[in-house]
Amino acid sequence: MSAPEGDKIEKLINPIETYPPSPEFIDGTKIPADIRERAAADRLAFWADQARELEWETPFTEVLDWSNPPFAKWFADGKLNVAVNCVDRHVHAGRGDKVAIHWIGEPGDTRTITYNDLYAEVQRAANMLEDLGIKAGDVVTLYLPMLPETIFAMLACARIGATHSVIFGGFSASAIRSRVDNANARLIITADGSLRKGRQFPLKETVDEALAEPGHTIEKVIVIKRAEKDIEMIEGRDLWWHDTIATAAETHEPQAFDAEHPLFILHTSGTTGAPKGLWHSSGGYLTQTAFTFRTSFDLRDDDVFWCSADVGWVTGHSYIAYGPLANGATQVMYEGAHDFPTLDRWFEIIEQYKVTTFYTAPTAIRGYMKSGREIPLRHDLSSIRLLGSVGEPINPEAWEWFREVIGADRTPVVDTWWQTETGSHMIAPIPTLDALKPGSGQKPVPGISVEVIDEQGNRVDPGEMGLLTITEPWPSMARGIWGDDQRFIETYWSQYPGRYFAGDGAGVDLDGDLWLLGRVDDVMNVSGHRLSTAEIESALVDHDLVAESAVIGAADETTGQAVVSFVVLKDSQREAAAQVDVEAELRGFVAKRIGAIARPRQVFVVAELPKTRSGKIMRRLLKNVADGKPAGDTSTLTDASVMDAIEQQVLARH
Ligand code: WT7
């Protein structure tokens, strides 16, 4: 793995303007001023204290078992129920009337769900699943839009000890099938369709397609009515959610599960092969997710939090489902697109619900920078007291714009770095303690140990760039890749023994603050969504016309990166290729295979790919050219003229 290239970046060595917290902002905070000192003094005692903020049916006596690295066990002899922690205990503490979720449908319908409502819904959904024979240890797949029922279903699984596996609603039938097979799921919960940008999208039909070939483990499909779309219900297999839940009992007696009981599986893209199903624990995951939610966002009792992610990604798991609810917070959940019916939609929601804390991705911020500040500025956004960023590196210009325009030149902006694998925030400033630095993630979360190293594994000096590693186990770390311990070890723990290697580059500035620089491996980040070059390449070569392919993430002003692919066609298919628009055909093919998010921005049909004498494709040269830069050193190529031809082709398109 090579460290990030390029000259030392200015920001690592030059002092820049920072934004210290204002006295008004700090006033009333629950974050202890010495929280970092406490965590540093005794890391394990610190995490044990955070875990004790949860309700345990059987208290734990052991904090960390690291006797079999990299397979950690946290709080292993304790027992708890995650859903009880997210729902029942708030009701039992007399906070049942507090709003848990202000839900807003894209067409404008709304629902208000209090903790009392959540309690009733989750119990009935838990009974429904049990009535269908689902029990602790079973896997339930969710393929759903952003509905309140999506949260009810996740919590119902947690309540009965079933492990959920959420699949983002934009993924294809074959993506569903591979994830179902990988987890041996017994049941799928889906909807008749989703509503986006005023249109209906199929979900149930896609599930049907995924299950068309026999040999899967799915017994039942539960369908939530949302789009009022005409769908086929298969006798004996498919059930409507509303019919089935109507006959379920109202109250459900929860049972406690081991802290290490698998709460969920979430698939994400890696550098090679099929997506990995990372699995997360119950006690450790909830401890760090709940802690980081209240700390990074300086949670107050009357906050209205809004995370604009989809529950299909880890951000939605940790900062829509589990983090806010474990803390008894109030949040907004919005079903649809930010630009439907107009680009004002998000700001109308902030204004109407008096959102105090808004957590979104740099790609959205850059999009609004382009469309103009007059859009947010024609709304009253004065309720906002804190902004958060996640998913990809945030450039200082976007950070400044976010603070100035959305945050009225007043609010802190916290950049939060983490991954599907880490479960919750790992690097983030604490807004009540730190002078914020535009574009920097700044400091490890209290209790987290981070080191930036060079390729030899030595710590880099301040002012330098290197590879981001984590040196100590943490409570919300993924416990493994479902069914593939060896791949877990090889992917994350083998390059630099004793350390977790994240796949990201980072810099350390002269103050010791951290700057996240994006992936240094073959993982792309498009609009904060993680995509694998290898997965898209293998989809492309599955097409009849294609002999070879290379995919790179080219720099893109709005989406951070964009998928650009280069293909060599099969000689035998030249005639067939002449009959179709190859680029349109292949873009559509990838979207169908993986999902619309993987659709290449461009497909270049080239005569040859740049390869070394040993046959390795030099993706770096392709990336340079796609970024509008010189290709770079072509001396190791078998045939340097290959790159000249490609450069001409790319230039012709710019
Ligand atoms: C990758 C993880 C974390 C939830 C959403 C994505 C990139 C994430 C930041 C940030 C720079 C970031 C990294 C990481 N990333 N947050 N604040 N600054 N890069 O989760 O799909 O697992 O992707 O997203 O490259 O490795 P994910």
Q: Which band of pLDDT confidence, cut at 50, 70 and 90, is reported for residue 270? A: confident
Residues 6+ positions from 478 with CB-CB distance below 8 Å = 278, 279, 280, 420, 421, 422, 423, 488
Span 459-463, average pLDDT = 95
Residue 3 banded pLDDT, cuts 50, 70, 90: low
DSSP 339-372: TSSSTTHHHHHHHHHT-SEEEE-HHHHHHHHHH-
Report the candidate in 179, 129, 136 with the shortest Cα–Cα distance to residue 153: 129
Query: Which of 421, 470, 525 most suits a substitution to test ligand 1, by most atoms within 8 Å of the C-beta?
Result: 525
Cβ neighbours of residue 335 under 8 Å, at least 6 residues apart?
103, 104, 105, 106, 145, 146, 147, 195
Max intra-chain CA distance, the chain: 73
pLDDT of residue 6: 57
Q: Which two tokens stand for residue 654?
A: 């710019």
CA of 343 to the centre of ligand 1 (A): 25
| Ligand 1 atom closest to residue 418's alpha carbon, by position in its atom list | 3
- Smallest CA separation from ligand 1 atom 16, residue: 391
> In this predicted structure, what is the pLDDT of residue 2?
67
Taking CA atoms only, the protein residue closest to ligand 1 atom 24 is 391
Output the residue whose Cα is nearest ligand 1's atom 12.
392
CB 552 within 8 A of CB 564: yes
- Residue 418 Cα to ligand 1 midpoint, Å, equals 5
Ligand 1: which of 278, 392, 515 to mutate, judged by most atoms within 8 Å of the beta carbon? 392
Q: Which residues neighbour 575 within 8 Å (Cβ) at sequence distance 6 or greater? A: none
Percent residues over pLDDT 70 in the chain: 99
Structure confidence at residue 436 (pLDDT): 98
| 441 Cα: distance to centroid of ligand 1 (angstroms) | 11
Rounded to the nearest angstrom, the distance between the alpha carbon of 417 and the centre of ligand 1 is 6
Q: How far apart are CA 249 and CA 123, in angstroms?
A: 8
CA of 558 to the centre of ligand 1 (A): 16
Q: What tokens appear for 197 in the block?
A: 């940008």
Please state whether 463 falls in left (phi above 0), alpha (psi between -120 and 50) or beta: left
3-state secondary structure string across 73-114: EECCCCEECHHHHHHHHHHHHHHCCCEEEEEECCCCCEEEEE
Confidence at residue 5, expressed as pLDDT on a 0 to 100 scale: 62
Instruction: Label residue 528 by pLDDT band (50, 70, 90).
Output: confident
**pLDDT confidence band for 633 (50 / 70 / 90):** confident
Beta carbons within 10 angstroms of residue 5's beta carbon: 10
Nearest residue to 245 (alpha-carbon basis) of 350, 153, 151: 153
What is the structure's pLDDT at 271?
Answer: 80
Which amino acid residue places its CA nearest to atom 18 of ligand 1?
A: 393
The percentage of residues in the chain with a pLDDT greater than 90, rounded to a whole number, is 92
The tens digit of pLDDT for each residue in 319-360 reads 999 999 999 999 999 999 999 999 999 999 999 999 999 999
Of all protein residues, the one whose alpha carbon is nearest to atom 21 of ligand 1 is 530
Between β-strands 139-143 and 264-268, what pairing exists: parallel, antiparallel or unpaired?
Answer: unpaired
Q: With cut-offs at 50, 70 and 90, classify the pLDDT of residue 1.
A: low
Cβ atoms of 515 and 506 closer than 8 Å? yes
Kindly report the average pLDDT of the chain as a whole number. 95
The CA 509 to ligand 1 mean position distance, Å, reads 20
Q: Which residues pair with 532 in a beta bridge?
A: 523
**pLDDT tens digits for 14-46?**
888 999 999 999 999 999 999 999 999 999 999
Contact 400, 426 (CB under 8 A): no
Q: Which helix (H) or strand (E) holds 589?
A: helix 582-593
Q: Select from 598, 606, 618 the least CA-distant residue to 647.
A: 606
Beta-carbon contacts of residue 253 (< 8 Å; ≥ 6 apart) = none
Q: How far is CA 568 from the centre of its chain?
A: 33
Model pLDDT, residue 654:
74
- Kindly give the distance from the C-alpha atom of residue 308 to the centroid of ligand 1, in angstroms, as a whole number: 15
pTM of the prediction?
A: 0.95
Q: What is the pLDDT of residue 303?
A: 98
pLDDT, one tens digit per residue, over 284-327 is 999 999 999 999 999 999 999 999 999 999 999 999 999 999 99
| CA 484 / ligand 1 centre spacing (Å) | 23
Closest ligand 1 atom, CA of 269? Answer: 21
pLDDT score for 111: 98
Q: How confident is the model at residue 398 (pLDDT cuts 50, 70, 90)?
A: very high
Q: Which residues line ligand 1 (CB under 6 A)?
A: 268, 313-315, 390-393, 415-420, 441, 502-504, 516, 518-519, 525, 528, 530
Q: pLDDT tier at 8 (50, 70, 90 boundaries)?
A: low
- DSSP states along 212-267: SSS-----EEEEE--S-------TTTEEEHHHHHHTS-S------EETTS--EEEE
Show the CA angle centred on residue 518, arms to residues 494 and 368, nearest 5°: 150
Q: How many CB atoms lie within 10 A of CB 59?
A: 12
Could you tell me the two tokens for 646? 């490609």
Q: Which of 535, 567, 582, 532 is nearest to 553 (CA)?
A: 532
Rounded to two decimals, the ipTM of the complex is 0.99
Measure 169 CA to ligand 1 centroid, in angstroms: 20
Which ligand 1 atom sits nearest the alpha carbon of residue 389? 17
Is pLDDT at 372 greater than 70 in this prediction? yes
Distance CA 139, CA 262 (A): 10
Q: Are 248 and 128 in contact (CB under 8 A)?
A: yes
